[in-house]
Structure 1
Amino acid sequence: MSDAPLWTPAALESATGGRLIGAPRAVTGASIDTRSLEPGDLFFAIRGEARDGHDFVRAALEKGAGAAVVAAARANEFEGVGPVLAVPGEDEDPVLEAMRRLGLAARARTGAAIVAVTGSVGKTGTKEALRHVLSAQGATHASVASYNNHWGVPLTLARMPEQTRFGVFEIGMNHGAEILPLTAMVRPDVALITTVEPVHIEHFRSLSAIADAKGEIFSGLKPGGVAVINRDNPNYERLLAHAHASRAGRVITFGEHAAADVRANRILTRPDVSVVDASVMGVPLTYQLGTPGRHVAMNSLGVLACIHALGADLARAALSLAALKPPVGRGERTALRVGDGEAFLIDESYNANPASIRAALATLAGIETGAKGRRIAVLGDMKELGAAGETHHRELADAVAGHGIDVVFAVGPLMAHLFEALPMAVRGTAAPSAEGVTDAVLATLRPGDAVMVKGSNSMRMVRIVEAVKARYAVAPDPREASLNAVR
């Protein structure tokens, strides 16, 4: 990357229609949060659900922000405080609109090859996998965490350096028509849908409606772009229709289906890795994944489909996947010192839905515990499932039994329905909140155990993860630990 600033003063004013007041410092990044703001970041004072970013302008400038983007009507409040970019507009939030405009300018000036990723499950992990493999082949810019909504996408665009070779954008939604404006901003060369599952179903009349909402991502494809679709998904034909209705010049499919362009012939899952024997556009390819789990292996096929569509080095990408590690909260593994032995923690606390919990239970089932070790699942409510919420939770009992889970701790009123459906021997403790089961989880752990924690964000399951790590000394390197669960 060049040492040139991310944005010059002239480019900022031109893109946003704003007026710089005061001498701006070099702008090297962009931020909407003073807690994570770095010196040189352009601070956007957008209005959040609870707070107005204008309340934090002074703090941002004190931390060394390159400038603060503020509504022109409020610019006089910051006279003499530091450099501000006053943006006009009658919009509900002119600062957010200015960030969108800057994002559009970033997209217009770059020659990068862009991939957009959506899906009910696995979009963040797939985005991170693409970031990982593409970074080895050129300057790569990608969404941070799950910055995939109406402010996350334009912010990610605004942060993209002009010299970027590859861009990877995650695009999310929980209502129809939310993806349309975001994919129109990103204008991807390649668009991937990982899968369609009953996530956010309370906002949709059917699973087909969710597929239609996900299919919106293809509408933003550049003319001649590539649509990448999961061939195994029951909604494949519906997604294919969306691709054909777009400007896509090509469709690439992935999965285990005999007709898939990128096909898994065999997936071998082990406690700490997976091995995939695949065929990519008719060419045999066997590779290893540093992140275990059958669902991760399936999404890796979509990653390779994108690599092929971009014209990047496929063999090099496959080799890079061996070093892929799961993101925090999405399968991160930690070896723990428990008593005179070791136990194993799988952090899946970031979010949850029926498909991802079943996948996590399958991964937990693949771990070999110690001689007296158990597979323990700590599960929190899955939100936004609507009237079918109780049923979706109760039906997880089959997956618990089928995967040989020994103990289940349940957090939340919905997960209580699963708890009631389980045999007494499998029931650990149930409580309305994470705090209600934390002590019981800590007390139950013994050498050789493998414990997995998962639930929707609002259930704050990460607090259980933090408590487990705080109680038990973490082994220096989980992959080098002598934990039986990893052998």
Structure 2
Amino acid sequence: MSLWTAEEAAAATGGQAVGDWRVDGISIDTRSIAEGDLFVALKAARDGHDFVAQALEKGAGAALVSRRPEGVGDDAPLLLVDDVQTGLEALGRAGRARTDARVIAVTGSVGKTSTKEMLARMLSDQGRTHSAVASYNNHWGVPLTLARMPRDTEFAVIEIGMNHPGEISPLAKQARPHVAMVTTVAPVHLEAFDGIEGIAAEKAAIMDGLEPGGVAILNADIAEAPILQSVAKRVTRDVQWCGTGTGPIAPTYHLTGTTLRGDETEAEVTLPNAQTHRLHIQSLGAHFAMNALGALACLAALDLDLAKAVQSLSLWSPVTGRGARETVSLGAGQGEILLLDDSYNANPTSVAAALAVLAATPCAGRRIAYLGDMKELGPQEQRLHSDLADLDAVQALDEIHCIGPLMGALHAALPADKRGGHYATSDDVRADLAGQIAAGDVVLAKGSLSMALAKVVDGIRELGHGEATF
């Protein structure tokens, strides 16, 4: 069965279909478009209308446009709408409305993508599951994910993010979740908010979209939990709290113990009915245990098989750029290094978690970190960078290399025996890597996306031949 017919898509968007077409997928990028996709001509860095002809040449089944592009024939399969972004949102709402899927929406300053992936892995063993790819969590990513949802979907996981106030609520109302989860609140995007309290209020707005009788899954350990609680009281009677019992609100889902062993994490959890489970996670990090507890609470809210969910969780591992672990062979007889690729993004909370993982990772050589600037932190940015030097995990590290002008504050604050180089860009680091890393070392790469720490990761791989460990 096709994802969308011309008639269905026109009815959903109020647009005009040109031709009698059917599409099996939706794409916004001609580089990855598949035959039979609907190409959505969004305006971003460039106008998507400039690529419609190319998309059709590559086999696109139709294109969603606001005008007939140049070089496109009169008989080309199109869906003409007044505005492409608005049309995509309408298609997303229709995609959500036509399924009986039980929907979980996830937001949070840290951990939302990992939690989304955990949920998708756990749910896929209990029914037909649909989730966002990568971090499609913004004004086009959420409606795109909803519009891509197959008709027969049983479970869906929608990730929702933000950079500025007022972004989450409309996206949550498009997703209409049965379960809404906030992983945590942290000082991220501070330059757009008056303080962390404003960030907490924005994250809480995910509950604006809850379906009647919906469930909120919230973090009990954070200081901002009362802000989440005040919003939850207005929108639902069913609020479940996850935590260790050290925060301002008593958890209903209790993380009673976390053990980091080798490259794995084990967690003991107690549920509201006093049932206990031991969670096994194929990655190192106490933050993964908290995310997994929240994911388990989401499945409990949907009355699913928790024992099976725990088994499914044990098969999950982080995706590239978000804590994935990789061994890099330095060549025959020259040994290996362990690479911790957490290069996708960074903020004070996630950097602290990543350094704690590096400090806890067994190591025959040295523990080395490459840290790039953390962006969008507002007036406190210099202090938030220098404060990283005071983390307990730093004492267990051998060398920290700093990348970018903001990381200069950390470089200056580090103890002399921990201080590596200070570089302007990731390209500069890449040129020096060969003399900095040796067999037996464990190496972390972490920074905001714009700092391109992925180049450092690629440079480390080039020292040998990368091989994923899971």
User: 2:60 is matched with which residue?
Assistant: 65
Kindly indicate whether the alpha-carbon contact (under 8 Å) linking 2:6 and 2:20 is maintained by their aligned counterparts in 1. no
Unaligned residue ranges in structure 1 (runs of 5+):
480-487
Partner Cα distance (2:205, 2:393) in 1: 37
Match of 1:135 among 109, 119, 124: 124
The answer to whether the Cα contact below 8 Å between 1:362 and 1:403 also exists between their aligned partners in 2 is no
Q: State the partner residue of 1:484.
A: none
Q: Which moved more, 1:203-212 or 1:284-293?
A: 284-293
Partner of residue 19 from structure 2, selected from 6, 19, 22: 22
- Note the alpha carbon deviations across 1:209-261, whole angstroms, 9 max, x for none: 11001010001101110001001011111101111111x23001111017311
DSSP 3-state at the match of 2:2: coil
What's 2:28 paired with? 32
Structural mapping, 1:403-422, within 5 Å: 403-422=395-414
1:380 to 348, 365, 372: 372
Structure 1 residues 348-427: aligned runs within 5 Å: 348-370=342-364, 373-399=365-391, 402-427=394-419
The match for 2:338 is 344
Q: 1:403 to 1:270 in 2, by over 3 A?
A: farther
Matched, 1:211 2:200: yes
Q: Does structure 1 retain, via aligned residues, the 8 Å contact 2:433–2:459?
A: no
- Post-superposition offset of 1:286: 1.2
Report the AA paired with residue 323 of structure 1. Answer: L
Whether 1:255 aligns to 2:243 is yes
Q: CA RMSD in A?
A: 1.4
1:151 aligns with 2:147: no
Distance in 2 between the 1:139 and 1:201 partners?
Answer: 38
1:192 to 159, 181, 187: 181
Q: Secondary structure at the match of 1:223?
A: coil
What is the distance in 1 between the residues matched to 2:431 and 2:351?
23
Is the 8 Å Cα contact of residues 429 and 440 (structure 1) preserved in structure 2?
Answer: no
CA apart distance, 1:402: 4.4
CA deviation string 1:95-147 (max 9, x = no partner): 11111111011111110000000000000000010001001111000011110
**Amino acid in structure 1 at the alignment position of 2:7:** A
Question: Equivalent of 1:8, from 5, 17, 39?
Answer: 5
Counterpart mapping for 1:260-275 below 5 A: 260-275=251-266
Secondary structure of the residue that 2:269 maps to in structure 1?
strand
Measured after TM superposition, the shift of residue 55 of structure 1 is: 0.1
Q: Which residue of 2 aligns with 1:171?
A: 160
Question: Deviating runs (4+, > 6 A) in structure 1?
Answer: none
Instruction: Give, as a single letter, the amino acid of the residue that structure 2 aligns with 1:21.
Output: V
SS across alignment from 1:35: coil
Q: CA, structure 1 residues 33+76, in 2 after alignment: closer, same or farther (shift >3 Å)?
A: closer
Secondary structure, aligned partner of 1:471: coil
Structure 1 counterpart of 2:288, one-letter code: V
Match of 2:450 in 1: 458
Q: Return the letter of the residue paired with 2:223.
A: P
Contact 1:369 1:448 in 2 (8 A): yes
1:306 corresponds to which of 298, 305, 312: 298
Contact 2:355 2:393 in 1 (8 A): no
Q: Provide the secondary structure at the position in 2 that maps to 1:323.
A: coil
Q: CA deviation at 1:401?
A: 5.6
Superposition deviation, residue 68 in structure 1? 0.5
Between the aligned partners of 2:444 and 2:372, the Cα distance in structure 1 is 11
**Could you state the TM-score of these two structures normalised by the residue count of structure 1?**
0.93
Preserved contact between residue 123 and residue 155 of structure 2 (Cα < 8 Å): yes
Letter in structure 1 aligned against 2:268: D
Q: Is residue 6–residue 19 contact of structure 2 (8 Å, CA) maintained in 1?
A: no
- Give the conservation status (yes or no) of the 8 Å contact 2:120–2:129: yes
TM-score by length of 2: 0.96
Residues 285-327 of structure 1: CA distance to partner in whole angstroms, max 9, x if unpaired? 1121112211011111100110100111111111111111111
Q: What is the aligned partner in structure 2 of residue 118 from structure 1? A: 107
**Residues 1:467 and 2:459 are matched in the alignment:** yes
Give 5+ residue unaligned stretches, structure 2: none
Q: Secondary structure of 1:379's match?
A: strand
> Is residue 2:273 matched to residue 1:277?
no
Residue 482 of structure 1 corresponds to none
Q: CA deviation at 1:403?
A: 4.5
Task: Give 1:76 deviation, angstroms.
Answer: 7.7
Q: What is the aligned partner in structure 2 of residue 483 from structure 1?
A: none
How many matched pairs? 464
1:376–1:449 contact (8 Å) kept in structure 2: yes
Distance 2:70 2:192 in 1: 42
Deviates more, 1:331-340 or 1:5-14: 331-340
Secondary structure of 1:327's counterpart equals coil
Counting aligned pairs with the same residue, the percent is: 46
- What is the rounded CA distance, in whole Å, between the counterparts of 1:271 and 1:80 in structure 2? 62
CA–CA distance in structure 2, aligned partners of residues 450 and 108 of structure 1: 48
Alignment check: 8 A CA contact 1:271 1:367 kept = yes
Secondary structure (helix, strand or coil) at the match of 2:465 reads coil
Indicate if the aligned counterparts of 1:278 and 1:284 stay in contact, CA closer than 8 A: yes
- Paired residue secondary structure (1:425): coil
Residues 287-296 or 165-174, more deviating:
287-296
Q: Cα–Cα, structure 1 residues 402 and 15, in superposed 2: closer, same or farther, change >3 Å?
A: same
- AA in 1 matched with 2:458: E
Distance apart, 1:424 and its partner CA: 2.0
SS of aligned partner of 2:186: coil
Distance (whole Å) between structure 1 residues aligned to residue 151 and residue 344 of structure 2? 32
Moved more, 15-24 or 280-289: 15-24
2:373–2:447 Cα contact (<8 Å) kept? yes
CA contact 1:223–1:249 (8 Å) conserved in 2: no
Q: Conserved in 1, the CA contact under 8 Å of 2:328 and 2:463?
A: no
Distance 1:433 1:128 in 2: 31
Determine the C-alpha separation between the residues in 1 that align with 2:41 and 2:434: 42
CA contact (8 A) 1:354 1:392 kept: yes
Letter in 2 for 1:397: A
Aligned to 2:307: 315
1:31 partner amino acid? S
Structure 1 residue identity aligned to 2:39:
F
SS in 1 for 2:104: strand
State the partner residue of 1:290: 282
